[in-house]
Amino acid sequence: MTSLIEPNDGAVVNGPAVDAPCASDSNASDTGTRTAIDIETAVATELETAPVEASGFAHFGFAPEILEALATVGYREPSPIQQAAIPELLLGRDLVGQAQTGTGKTAAFALPMLARLDPDQRTPQVLVLAPTRELALQVADAFNSYAARLSRVRTVAVYGGADFRDQIHQLKRGAQIVVGTPGRVMDHMRQGTLDLSGLRALVLDEADEMLRMGFIDDVEWVLEQLPEQRQVVLFSATMPAEIRRISQQYLSSPAEITIRTKAADAGRIRQRYLTVPAPHKLTALERVLESEGGEGVIIFARTKAITLTVAESLEAHGYDVAVLNGDVPQAQRERTIERLKSGQVDILVATDVAARGLDVDRIGLVINYDIPFDGEAYVHRIGRTGRAGRSGEAILFLTPRERRFLGGLERAAGKPIEPMEVPDNATINQHRLDRLRQRLTGALQQSHCSDAERALLSEILQRVAQEQGCAPEQLALAALELSLAGKPLLLQGNDDFSTVRAHGPGRDRDRDRDGQGRERGRQLRRGGREERPQGPPEDDMERFRVELGWRDRVKPGNLVGAIANETGLDGRSIGRIQIFDTHSTVDLPKGMPEEVFTSLRELRVLSKPLQISRLRNTDR
């Protein structure tokens, strides 16, 4: 039985602490290994004190073609997860790795897989399962980058939302590596277009996310179809009981590696929160973007509907905004990510599922417009900034009722989250002046016009000056006013967010709930009380059952009000409600913390216990 020691003590190999394994440590690799690494201390010290000839990727024994490709993409030193995992995988061992996104785990499994490939075998030798299309494409791109000098090695990505026939054509051409989402991989296996008889290794990337999205049954089905002799690699940011069961059932004496990254991430990302009533969130968001917005911004919202509301509001105020949610077609999603990377779009509004695996270095600010339901989701969200060793900013929006969840997020992040105020007029105006001065200075230092265009502009200035008899300073002021495009330079009016409208936000929300309740009631009664819901919940929602129904005289508004008051959720974040004779179903955002679920189980509505439970069968 292996054990996990505290950081800074090295690795435990069924006994005393030793150094992390390398390619020649065959004795250490014969038994289960669990390596705990603290990026800020143990591994950093080890890499700094290691001999120069032992540094880099060369000591792993990779072929020159792989080393050349790594040099091209700028890889010089292996990250902690790579240092620990690559030797084990080169030996063909199964492996369980616990590491957050951004720690270099893709290279940790891709490089040894490439090193062990047989380029003459044209059928798949490596299969990587990823929870989302974006992550599958990202992993496939990484394989292509590392194999750029291996001319006979091909990688194919298969995922839903793309042309099935095109994927069949690519698979028929021959590929040693297939990266895909579970559902589409199953489709190809059942159609006979994906031959895994010669498979040597399976990688489960972000296994906990596949569990959260309901793919674990699909993953197990794929595992059961594979050849008996194969290597299995499992990476996960967290290790819930179901993921641990998968590793125990399908992996053989795996090496176990845990990478601790929270301290390092916390040092690079400044985390702040502001408290604002729900009706004022959009206005507060616009003010935050005015004073804090920089090169690239991701705004996380809880549901698809909220992403659209936020994007429409920002577009109305002149921002270039893109949306990423489950309803966006795959081709558009890919174009959106490329536009974000290239700087054509500076603000992305996204749901958690849509942004999973998103890796864009230029993101300087992450805004949690809606509070995530668990600490791991929060850590994942803010990890979209502070990439590639850069610093980043993260701002969390909280309604007054959501303040009680702050402690849990701080524990997950490993550091306090600083309070901040909604930027006032003076702060925003100073930011506008600074930005105008920077733009003017940049235009003086680097022109975006050709010499011919500059000559024409100079001629226009001279002609206007002669015609109007004005000084150069007056012309410069007129040009600056023209650049404002009719918008005021300074923000005026009330900027006090410390008070709420006299009637309070609750009344508006209550009216909304009552209206929603009446409309839902009318819709349900049209087809009878036992009408079934219109399909499963949205990707970012989960369906629950409560033991109250028509016989208890419960209405949708009763359930929305009680749940919103108990959880601090905005009523708009609560999804479809279906009321039957003896029970009801409610769709709530995924990732509900256990303490919130416990409080809901004890909740009473109309003086009767709610008795909420998760539904396994999402059809009812």
Q: Which domains does the chain have, with CATH numbers?
A: 11-260 (3.40.50.300), 266-426 (3.40.50.300), 505-614 (3.30.70)
Alpha helices in 50-159 (DSSP H): 64-72, 80-90, 105-115, 133-146
State the amino acid at position 144 in one-letter form: N
Checking 402-407 for CB contacts under 8 A at 24+ apart, the result is 402/371, 402/568, 403/275, 404/568, 405/371, 405/568, 405/593, 406/273
Strand order in the sheet with 584-589: 577-579, 584-589, 541-546, 613-614
Give just the sign of the alpha carbon dihedral 287, 291, 296, 297.
negative
Q: How far from 104 is each of 46, 315, 351, 410, CA to CA, in Å? A: 18, 35, 24, 24
Give the largest CA-CA distance in the chain: 90
Residues of the chain with pLDDT under 50: 1-55, 262-264, 498-533, 618-620
**From CA 253, how far away is CA 231, in angstroms rounded?**
11
Nearest 5°: the CA angle 565, 571, 576 is: 120
Q: Which residue has the tokens 């010669």?
A: 198
Q: Is 349 helix (H, G, I), strand (E, B) or coil?
A: strand
Q: How many CB atoms lie within 10 A of CB 267?
A: 14
First to last CA, the chain: 43
Q: Is 442 helix (H, G, I), strand (E, B) or coil?
A: helix
Q: Is 312 helix (H, G, I), strand (E, B) or coil?
A: helix
> Partners of 324 in the beta sheet?
350
pLDDT of residue 525: 43
pLDDT of residue 251: 94
Spatial contact of 556 and 577, defined as CB atoms under 8 Å apart = yes
State the amino acid at position 472 in one-letter form: P
DSSP letters, 255-282, are EEEEEE-HHHHHHHEEEEEEE--GGGHH
pLDDT of residue 261: 52
Q: Is 528 helix (H, G, I), strand (E, B) or coil?
A: coil
Give the total residue count for the chain. 620
Give just the sign of the alpha carbon dihedral 95, 97, 102, 103.
negative
pLDDT of residue 40: 37
Q: Go through 390-412 and write b for each residue having 16 or more CB atoms within 10 A of its CB, e for each that does not.
A: eebbbbbbbbebbeebbebbbeb
pLDDT of residue 18: 31
Question: Which tokens sit at 177?
Answer: 């590596």
Q: How many CB atoms lie within 10 A of CB 553?
A: 10
Q: How far from 604 is each of 392, 506, 562, 565, 610, CA to CA, in Å? A: 43, 20, 8, 12, 5
Strands (E), 472-590: 541-546, 577-579, 584-589
Q: How far from 381 is each of 243, 393, 434, 480, CA to CA, in Å? A: 22, 11, 29, 39
**From CA 217, how far away is CA 220, in angstroms rounded?**
5
Please classify residue 618 by burial: count the beta carbons closer than 10 Å to its beta carbon, then call 0-12 exposed, 13-18 middle and 19+ buried: middle
**From CA 539, how far away is CA 213, in angstroms rounded?**
7
For the entire predicted model, the pTM comes to 0.51
Residue 305: half-sphere exposure toward Cβ, Cα within 13 Å: 10
Tabulate helix, strand, coil % of the chain (nearest 5). 45, 15, 40
Q: How far from 192 is each of 108, 184, 189, 197, 431, CA to CA, in Å? A: 30, 12, 5, 11, 60
